Amino acid sequence: MKLLEKSQIRSWDLDTIDHQNISSFDLMLRAASVFSNWFQSLFFDKTRTIHVFCGMGNNGGDGFCIASLLAKAGYEVNVYLFQFNNRFSDDNLSRQKEVESFDKFEKFTPFPLEQKDLIIDALLGSGINGPLKGEYLKLVSWLNALPNKIISIDIPSGMDPDQPTSGSFVHADHVLSFEIPKISFFLNENSDYIKNWDYRSIHLNPGFVEDLKVMNYLIDYDLVKSILRQRKATENKKDFGFAQFCGGSPGMLGSVILASKAAMRCGLGRLAVSTPSIYHSSLFSSCPEAMAQADLPKNVSNLVDFQLVNEHVDAIAIGPGLSSAKESVRYIDEFLKANKKPAVLDADALNIISRNKWQPRIGAYSIISPHKEEFERLFGTCDSHYSRIQKQIEKSKELNIFIILKGAHTTISSPDGSCYYNNTGNVGMGTAGSGDVLTGMLLSFLAQGYTPLETCILAVYLHGSAGDSAAFKYGNIALIASDIIEFIPSVIKNINGK
């Protein structure tokens, strides 16, 4: 799904008014009716009073319309207008007539509310133009200290739709965004403050967005479904890719097994594993589907074997459990020199690259999948997660590679400067081996012929979904990496139908 910046959302709004020959008030009515239906499906208990807090722009206008619809639906509704200057929007002024009466505040003073009552936040929407000031600041601080549930219209008031907010904003329990979610819903800086968000269409003109160039995307079910291919009855294992996984070192077999199993579970045809020979029998007992190749990284002379295999495989993943021993460093050096195959580099491969400043040697269109610490070792420290994402995009363009920055909202950056936000996954996935599972999944899709971008999208989304199913069964405290693999089949089957 395309994620639009606030200026683009505004243009979309105007384009719809023009294209559908409606007034901006008609659009506001649509938005209000969509919000009111959504609200009634969540909060059907009409014994709780609803307090609607309206500002002076169109978000406040939505608030007046919604208050009127909820009152008609039988809720007890109180409306407050916070008029801190005289700059009303036209639709706000005309919508004030929708409600029978409201209290007006020119300065904010606290007033009592019953704890069980609900608050609808219609103070400010996407028209925000900087950090909250003056009376709004006092009001929002008071709201955030209340025990009441807050439900925000379109966006929590004060929150910047496009980037982290430099001031304070309403800490919403629920948000209903119009048409599409806002970019800022996916920023780690905001994740503790938006507990539940959703979006509903208000039927903005679809043609506008089809042609619109955007730099940010949300990885959603429809996108993943459109990428995941159906198999033909006549295909065989040779059609599903031959992959090579290089990793493991003395004491580090787990990553090899996890990545191998995850790769096979994502539909890979054949897998060759290059790992120390002392592990071959354990590998076969845990993942009999894999074949063992050269003895790595103990005996680097087997590089010849490695290159032989390299000629036949469709993709290669390197790094997990490799260690940063001298032999591994030499191995990565040789790999960067010799490899021409689509590649995934992770874990120790990335650590070795950062220690030796070999970043510019990473092959074009390779995929790297660092977590925050690996990323900062590669590209330097950043003072916020948002600035890390900006650097991620910049480095993807500069090095011509795909970067998966793993975290609460994993982001994928592509050499064309676009950024994909993932919304599957949970805190339980921050556990040993979770990244190895992702590397195996990436390798699998890459070897099956998906483009690097498609590979990143599929693997990141499905990894998170499998983790969500695992957390549903085991809880996010007990969750271990093997549980993620357990659920790969069902998440793929749910999407692909096969």
Ligand X SMILES: NC(=O)C1=CN([C@@H]2O[C@H](COP(=O)(O)OP(=O)(O)OC[C@H]3O[C@@H](n4cnc5c(N)ncnc54)[C@H](OP(=O)(O)O)[C@@H]3O)[C@@H](O)[C@H]2O)[C@H](O)CC1
Binding residues for (6S)-NADPHX, as ranges, are: 58-62, 125-131, 136, 154, 321, 371, 436
The listed partner (ligand X, K ion, none) that binds 89, CB under 5 to 8 Å by sort, is ligand X
Instruction: Give me the phi and psi of 454, to 5 degrees please.
Output: -60, -40
157 binds K ion (CB under 5 A): yes
Residue whose pair of structure tokens reads 């780690």 in the numeric block: 188
Question: Is 462 within 8 Å of 418 (Cβ atoms)?
Answer: no
Nearest to K ion by Cβ — which residue?
A: 157
Q: How far is the CB of 119 from K ion (least distance, A)?
A: 11
Q: How far is the CB of 253 from ligand X (least distance, A)?
A: 53
The listed partner (K ion, ligand X, none) that binds 465, CB under 5 to 8 Å by sort, is none
Question: Given the rule CB under 5 A, which of 35-43, 52-60, 450-458, 488-496 is the region that contacts K ion?
Answer: 52-60
Q: How far is the CB of 217 from ligand X (least distance, A)?
A: 19
Q: How far is the CB of 35 from K ion (least distance, A)?
A: 11
177 binds K ion (CB under 5 A): no
The site for ligand X (CB under 6 A) is made up of 9, 13, 27-28, 31, 55-62, 85, 87, 89, 124-133, 136, 153-154, 178-179, 202, 204
Q: How far is the CB of 271 from ligand X (least distance, A)?
A: 48
The listed partner (ligand X, K ion, none) that binds 245, CB under 5 to 8 Å by sort, is none
Question: Given the rule CB under 5 A, which of 120-128, 246-254, 261-269, 325-333 is the region that contacts K ion?
Answer: 120-128
Q: How far is the CB of 202 from ligand X (least distance, A)?
A: 6
Identity of the residue, 152 or 411, whose beta carbon is nearer to K ion in the bound complex: 152
In the beta sheet, which residues pair with residue 422?
Answer: 219
Question: Which residue, 104, 108, 126, 102, is CA-closest to 12?
Answer: 126
Identity of the residue, 200 or 361, whose beta carbon is nearer to ligand X in the bound complex: 200
Amino acid, res. 58: N
Q: How far is the CB of 61 from ligand X (least distance, A)?
A: 6
Identity of the residue, 83 or 396, whose beta carbon is nearer to ligand X in the bound complex: 83
153 binds K ion (CB under 5 A): yes
Q: How far is the CB of 110 from ligand X (least distance, A)?
A: 19
Binding site residues, as ranges?
Answer: 58-62, 121, 125-131, 136, 154, 157, 321, 371, 406-410, 435-436
With a CB cutoff of 8 Å and minimum separation 6, the contacts of 23 are: 17
Identity of the residue, 79 or 153, whose beta carbon is nearer to K ion in the bound complex: 153
Identity of the residue, 125 or 319, whose beta carbon is nearer to ligand X in the bound complex: 125
Identity of the residue, 189 or 398, whose beta carbon is nearer to ligand X in the bound complex: 189
Question: Given the rule CB under 5 A, which of 59-67, 180-188, 206-214, 351-359 is the region that contacts K ion?
Answer: 59-67
Q: How far is the CB of 125 from K ion (least distance, A)?
A: 5
The listed partner (K ion, ligand X, none) that binds 56, CB under 5 to 8 Å by sort, is ligand X
Tokens of 267: 């539909």
Identity of the residue, 61 or 241, whose beta carbon is nearer to ligand X in the bound complex: 61
CB crowding 134-149: b at 16 or more within 10 Å, else e? ebbeebbeebbeeebb
Binding site residues for K(+), as ranges?
Answer: 59, 121, 157
Identity of the residue, 131 or 164, whose beta carbon is nearer to ligand X in the bound complex: 131
The listed partner (ligand X, K ion, none) that binds 27, CB under 5 to 8 Å by sort, is ligand X
Identity of the residue, 121 or 468, whose beta carbon is nearer to K ion in the bound complex: 121
Question: Is 108 within 8 Å of 139 (Cβ atoms)?
Answer: yes
Question: Is 77 within 8 Å of 50 (Cβ atoms)?
Answer: yes
The listed partner (ligand X, K ion, none) that binds 152, CB under 5 to 8 Å by sort, is K ion
Tokens of 199: 């979006």
Tokens of 203: 């039927």
The listed partner (K ion, ligand X, none) that binds 115, CB under 5 to 8 Å by sort, is none
Q: How far is the CB of 158 from K ion (least distance, A)?
A: 8
Binding site residues for AMP, as ranges?
Answer: 406-410, 435
Question: What HEC string does the chain produce?
Answer: CEECCHHHHHHHHHHHHHHCCCCHHHHHHHHHHHHHHHHHHHCCCCCCCEEEEECCCHHHHHHHHHHHHHHHCCCCEEEEEECCCCCCCHHHHHHHHHCCCCEEECCCCCCCCCCCCEEEEECCCCCCCCCCCHHHHHHHHHHHHCCCEEEEECCCCCCCCCCCCCCCCCCCCEEEEECCCCHHHHCHHHCCCCCEEEEECCCCCHHHHHCCCCCEEEECHHHHHHHCCCCCCCCCHHHHCEEEEECCCCCCCHHHHHHHHHHHHCCCCEEEEECCHHHHHHHHHHCCCCEECCCCCCCHHHHHHHHHHHHHCCEEEECCCCCCCHHHHHHHHHHHHHCCCCEEECCHHHHHHHHHCCHHHCCCCCEECCEHHHHHHHHCCCCCHHHHHHHHHHHHHHHCCEEEEECCCCEEECCCCCEEEECCCCHHHCCCCHHHHHHHHHHHHHHCCCCHHHHHHHHHHHHHHHHHHHHHHHCCCCCCHHHHHHHHHHHHHHHHCC
Question: Given the rule CB under 5 A, which of 19-27, 65-73, 152-160, 276-284 is the region that contacts K ion?
Answer: 152-160
152 binds K ion (CB under 5 A): yes
Question: Given the rule CB under 5 A, which of 8-16, 85-93, 155-163, 473-481 is the region that contacts K ion?
Answer: 155-163
Query: What is the contact surface with K ion in residues (CB under 5 A)?
Result: 59, 121, 152-153, 157
